[in-house]
Amino acid sequence: MSHSVSSLTSWVPVAPESHFPIQNLPYGRFSEGDGPIRLGVAIGESVVDLAVLGEAGLLPTVPGETPELTLLEDRALHIEIRGRLQELLEASCPTLRDDGALRNRAILPMRRVRLHRPVGTIGAFVDFYSGIHHASNVGKMFRPEQAPLLPNYRHIPIGYNGRASSVVVSGTSIRRPKGQTKAPQAEGPSFGPTREMDFELEMGFFVRGGNPLGEPIPMERVEEHLFGLTLVNDWSARDLQRWEYQPLGPFLAKSFATSVSPWIVPLEALEPFRVAGMSQAPEPLPYLRQTGPQHYAIELEVTLQTQKMRNPQVISRTNARELYWSFAQQLAHQASNGTNLQTGDLYASGTISGAEPGTFGSMLELTWKGETPLEMVETGETRRFLEDGDVLTISGWCQGDGFRIGFGEVVGQILPSPG
């Protein structure tokens, strides 16, 4: 880690446990009340309004009706803004610090603004299945007489195209979905609310730039198309999924909602936290082979709070380094058939689970299909799956020397089915 970067401090108050020190500076979109949505950067408990600083001549302006896409697309512009912001916010720089009028217009308390989805229009959402421990657990549950992993798992990043229109920002309540389910002994299916509402602990990444239709992106260039990471909760209805996923895959069990955190952490902020990840055997085919560390050491935590609880309870802790396929491999595989990627597309890793109980990234695993319910220590309640009123929160961060590079939270409360 660069000493000059790791030792930076800001004149904006930033607590040691804050996710948003000067080393991070993630991008998001915010508004004041019902006002226009603007592009901002998080620092401490505040949001920096990039447009205000641009109008004041302290930052390059970000043009276009969708400035977040402009910023994702233009790496040189992003690097310039990021570097200039670190200069302006550094403890010894008086330019913005000592200009009270401008400072009050440009730096707003986060608690007073409304945070929006970090990309306004997401053209595509793709969900992978790159958590090998999760895949193994699911295999053990549903194919007990077979090998836990299907034959292709260690050869190919498995994924499917999800529903981009139902990607929502953290804090959006989630309606319990309805669909077809079939009880084991029932003669036929029935229609109604899911009884097995679940979360999936994932990381996501947003795409920078695209490629012409029919032209793959080679592995040595794929990272040029990775802008930054975000937290993802890909909500799931397990009983719907069990009935509908064969022969093609998830449909209504997944498409009703996917929650993302409000902030995109750029790869530049994550550079000091690269790790090698687990070994891959057999060696991937040439188009998926990568050099150097391509995973990230991101601590992940999940809490659950029922309506009767005063405080949330941690139900899982794990790390993004538990992914088998890296983000770069996921994107290289997606583009290998000539799929035309677009700026602002969202890709999710798939459920991230560790190898031991307490590190699993879904209720399906934490309760082992509901057979061993979780106990809520404060109230004595139990949970096999999520119930109406439950609040599920995912948080994630990289721990540096005296600071964190964090992603904030992705929060959702389960509401009853409509009708």
pLDDT in tens, 205-215: 999 998 999 99
Indicate the pTM of the whole model. Answer: 0.96
Residue 413 identity: Q
pLDDT (0 to 100) of residue 142: 87
pLDDT (0 to 100) of residue 259: 98
Q: Report the percentage of the chain scoring pLDDT > 90.
A: 94
**Active-site annotation, residues:** 134
pLDDT (0 to 100) of residue 2: 41
pLDDT higher than threshold 50 for residue 1:
no
Other Cβ atoms within 10 Å of 282 Cβ, number: 7
pLDDT (0 to 100) of residue 313: 98
**Residue corresponding to tokens 């730039």:** 209
| Whole-number Cα distances in Å, 212 to 72, 107, 216, 330, 356 | 18, 40, 8, 18, 43
pLDDT (0 to 100) of residue 6: 74
pLDDT higher than threshold 60 for residue 64:
yes
pLDDT higher than threshold 70 for residue 281:
yes
d(CA 317, CA 325): 20
d(CA 369, CA 92): 55
pLDDT higher than threshold 80 for residue 272:
yes
pLDDT tier for residue 246 given thresholds of 50, 70 and 90: confident
pLDDT (0 to 100) of residue 4: 57
Beta strands in 55-135 (DSSP E): 107-109, 114-116, 125-128
Beta strands in 268-378 (DSSP E): 274-275, 295-296, 299-305, 313-319, 346-348, 374-375
Question: Residue 132: helix, strand or coil by DSSP?
Answer: helix
Q: Concatenate the DSSP letters of all residues of 134-195 into one string.
A: HHHHHHHHH-TTS-SS-TTTTTS--EEE--GGGEEETT--EEPPEEEE--TT-SS-EEEE-S
Average pLDDT, the chain: 96
Sequence-ordered alpha helix ranges (H) in 191-322: 219-222, 238-244, 252-255, 267-270
Q: What is the token pair recorded at 389? A: 């009123």
pLDDT tier for residue 292 given thresholds of 50, 70 and 90: very high
In degrees rounded to 5, what are phi and psi of residue 230?
-145, 165
pLDDT (0 to 100) of residue 3: 39
| 316-344 pLDDT, tens digit each | 999 999 999 999 999 999 999 999 999 99
